[in-house]
Amino acid sequence: MKESVTQTRTTPAPTTPVFCTIVPPHILGKLAESDDPAWHEPARRTLEHDALHRTRRTGLAAQARAPQEARAAADKPNRTVYDAGHQQNLPGTKVHSETDGPSKDASVNRAHAGLGATFELYLKVYGRKSIDGAGLPLDATVHYGEKYDNAFWDGQRMVFGDGDGRLFKDFTIPVDVIGHELTHGVTQYTANLDYQAQSGALNESISDVFGSLIKQYALQQTADQADWLIGADLLAPGVHGQALRSMKAPGTAYDDPQLGKDPQPATMAGYVQTADDNGGVHLNSGIPNHAFYIVASALGGKAWERAGQIWYDVLTGGHLAKNAQFADFANLTVQAAQTRYGASGAEHEAVVKAWSQVGVLGK
């Protein structure tokens, strides 16, 4: 096994905000090509919106939070939900605070619950107090835009569209979508991976990994009980597909006349060279996704315990460079498994085999 070329970071990572969406551009692009306005109009509006926001990656993120902000109860979530009223002005109207009872709006309740499920996994499993590790308040906005077919993390808050109703349902429905987007915030505050090419695919994959673990933890599922799907229950009735992505079998999540066929590769043999989507960050994330699934399946039990702990150790350990490649990340997970569980442990063996199986490390 080659030595990792990643250098140890000796200074805290800057927190550069990245506009991260759950529905990738290749899906929306396929829909935008349709001759039917009912399909292409929401997709084109969503694509135009997302492209505009990706060019506005200005100082929204952690720096926008005053460092003196009260964080006394950092071991408990501090959630606020806003309603955009189908406009695109953020954050919208405040409609729900941490101490409020259930809302009459199901989207508000789901957003509140999803923020809480994410907070709970990170605190109870990894001892992390909110996404920044210091009790950062969690904000979300629902009912964003008109038939907006996406959800995103903008460096400061979670934002949910209602979907168009024909292909996508309300984006507050899948808890793993909420966990995925908030995990972009965790990455932002830790490794701060560049959102480009392999480091960007790692950024996306880490969000899928912990998004799936958040769902599994909420349902108390073992690795063999989990569906390993990202965005299950998001696709509307009649769509030929299960979810946006499959970690168990990348490339099989959907095969639909409107959406097209899931193009994610599972191994380096299918690695996609493209200039689109920041170098294919949503496509090539299937490779590290599949590696994590293989590790978790080999170890069995609750995936957030050993497999998740190894990934978390690498994400937060200070050795993961912003421009890390797949091999860098793989080698760091091998080292983390050895450090925490020993070189002769099943964990170390499972990690080495998984990265070899997907073609990132040599056998």
Kindly list the catalytic residues: 181, 282
Strands 255-256 and 260-261, how do they pair? Answer: antiparallel
* Cα gap 28→44, rounded to integer Å: 7
Biggest alpha carbon distance in the chain? 59
Name the phi and psi angles at 36, rounded to 5: -90, 120
Q: Length of the chain in residues, anyone?
A: 363
* Cα gap 182→21, rounded to integer Å: 11
In contact, 24 and 277? CB cutoff 8 Å: yes
In contact, 286 and 250? CB cutoff 8 Å: yes
Closest CA to 128 of 328, 352, 357, 308: 308
First CA to last CA distance, the chain: 8
Closest CA to 205 of 245, 172, 252: 245
- List 254's β-bridge partners, or say none: 241
